[in-house]
Amino acid sequence: VSAGPTYEDIDPVRFIGNRSSGRMGFAVAEAAAQAGAKVTLISGPVNLPTPHGVDRVNVRSARQMCDAVLAVSGRSDIFISAAAVGDYRVEARSPTKLKKTGKPLSLELIQNPDILAEVAALPKRPFLVGFAAETKDVERYARDKLERKKLDMIAANLVGTDLGFESSENALLLLWQEGSEDLGQADKKVLARALVERIASRFHTSIDKVATE
């Protein structure tokens, strides 16, 4: 399970981050461990205790998260990507603190690797579950991401004023190739348990399908 934001450093004291608290991913890791899974939680910078029975790896940038995820993905059955990975990083991080010059400052940003896409390209890829936080047209964007990122499932949520980022509640719509299920709005820990149950069920269906082919 990946969780939390990534921080992309600009100089030794500044970074580009996002508002992910890590709570959804931590709740999913906890629910998966409680359901009997052996869980590695790869976390960006967050202020949360490690759930009981979970192995935790701390990272900072998207590239570090990508390396940490790839190091365990080859021997994992399921990868749940709940992290809010920074899409861009500063191309040339300054080794010293940037000073005011009185002129506009430009930062050249380059795209980070897409972690899910890298895992999807592995020869023995795990069952892939992504998240899609959207501010509008949730279902349409999420189904597009499911196809484009070649995911097995996607959990979509509308990011609003008191839902999603920085909140203890979320509302999730689960989508997969052949169907969908609205898990409704609830505390992230309650949603995480429902999500893990649905993932386990779809995961077993996919294994049975491969076994009979």
Binding status of residue 159 toward ligand C5P by CB under 6 A: no
Nearer to ligand C5P, 87 or 181 (CB): 87
Task: Check binding of 62 to ligand C5P (CB under 6 A).
Answer: yes
Q: Which stretch binds ligand C5P (CB under 6 A): 35-43, 46-54, 81-89, 205-213?
A: 81-89
Q: Is 18 labeled as catalytic in the residue annotation?
A: yes
- Interface stretch with ligand C5P, choices 14-22, 97-105, 128-136, 163-171 (CB under 6 A): 128-136
Nearer to ligand C5P, 94 or 122 (CB): 122
Q: How far is CA 100 from the centre of its chain?
A: 35
Q: Is 130 in the site for ligand C5P (CB under 6 A)?
A: yes
| Contact between 185 and 173 (Cβ < 8 Å) | no
Least Cα distance to 93 among 78, 110, 76 occurs for 110
CA–CA distance, 143 with 128 (Å, rounded to integer): 14
* Residue 4 lies near ligand C5P (rule: CB under 6 A): no
Torsion sign over Cα 75, 33, 157, 15: negative
Report DSSP state, residue 138.
H
- Applying CB under 6 A, among 43, 61, 81, 157 the residue interacting with ligand C5P is 81
Q: Does residue 112 touch ligand C5P according to CB under 6 A? A: yes
- Alpha-carbon gap, residue 208 to 58, rounded angstroms: 34
**Residues recognised as catalytic:** 18
